[in-house]
Chains A and B, each alone.
Chain A
């Protein structure tokens, strides 16, 4: 069987829309570019999409990138610096002599609390069912992953297809069974009075 060469095959609108962004970025080249351009010559819809996308791109590029006032920048930097490294003196000023004494108490307390929380987390983790940790050489672990992938893929494809088959069966049931016994009498019941009114 002879297949059309790529340059002869017209591009679908869906494919052209995928390539649109690539074209605007100037990355579309060779046969793909010529096919894209040929499609635009014959498709006004895609040409319109391209114009829209181009306008958006230009609009975004034209957006002003104003500078932040220096006073604001300085205030933000000062605030961040104060948060990162709290000044020991300001803390003493706030708490006076008590500051140091409190610090002597709360630091060990916080450290103790940290240890307790860590121990609690470890205990909770131990209660969780052990998660499966892959063992073996990296090649074996990889092989196991790949085998699982293949099995999952086969199962997914088979299931997807059976879902679709079920969908088709349901469509047929609706068309042939429910359509005939339920929908048709109802539509007939609605249509007849309307026709009588019209006459």
Chain B
């Protein structure tokens, strides 16, 4: 009798937890491509398996990170709480032909973005192998997406897409704060990681 009661309680607890976990799973699998600020880098025609850096932070994970950094960095937590997705892809460009191809593809995607209501914040074409495009998707009152497409030093192409409710000033402030510590440290780690991967191949 007593074991039956325990089994019953366990079943009830299981049923109670089921929608919670299903909800979390569902959130992680949300179709972000329907969001206004989303950019599909697949249109660039690059083989995603060749990316040396692949970051995909969806809102469930960003929410957890936000609650983690609430005490230590409230501004970062506030910003992350409003974001839906952060994506980063980085590719190494082996030769000049690849640089040219990727630049053409970026230029084509930039054209598509402009046609679909994105605003060019930056279009910097310094020389072959050094181009930066920054596009912003304006919502009614807030920014709904930012995307950066950059070819640097004729060696790498980096694509960043931030989706969600974005305050550009906040990005500027936070970005400036993290610039030296985060960008260089993590960039070096990624560089080493990609070099190790190359050596293994």
Contact = CB atoms under 8 A, between A and B. Distances in A.
Q: Do A and B bind each other?
A: yes
Interface of A: 1, 3-6, 9, 11-12, 15, 32, 35, 132, 135-136, 139-141, 143-162, 164
Interface of B: 55, 57, 61-62, 64-65, 68-69, 72-73, 76, 79-80, 86, 88, 95-98, 100-101, 104, 121-122, 124, 126, 132, 134, 146, 148, 150, 154, 158, 160, 162, 171-172, 174-176, 178-179, 182-183, 186-187
Given A158-B172, A161-B134, A136 B178 contact: no
Contact of B132 (A1, A139, A150, A157): A157
B76 A148 contact: yes
A154 B171 contact: yes
B72 A132 contact: yes
A95 to B, nearest CB: 52
A164 B154 CA distance: 19
**Which label, helix, strand, loop or mixed, suits the secondary structure of the B interface?**
helix
Given A32-B95, A147-B86, 19 more contacts: A6-B97, A6-B98, A132-B72, A135-B68, A136-B64, A140-B64, A147-B62, A147-B65, A148-B182, A149-B55, A149-B187, A151-B162, A152-B179, A152-B183, A154-B175, A156-B175, A157-B122, A161-B122, A161-B134
A146 B55 contact: yes
B124 to A, nearest CB: 5
Given A146-B86, A149-B183, A154 B146 contact: yes
Contacts of A148: 76, 174, 178, 182, 186
A122 to B, nearest CB: 23
B127 to A, nearest CB: 11
**Which label, helix, strand, loop or mixed, suits the secondary structure of the A interface?**
helix
Contacts of A6: 95, 97-98
A143 B61 contact: yes
A177 to B, nearest CB: 24
Contacts of B72: 132, 135
A149 B178 contact: yes
Contacts of B65: 136, 140, 143-144, 147
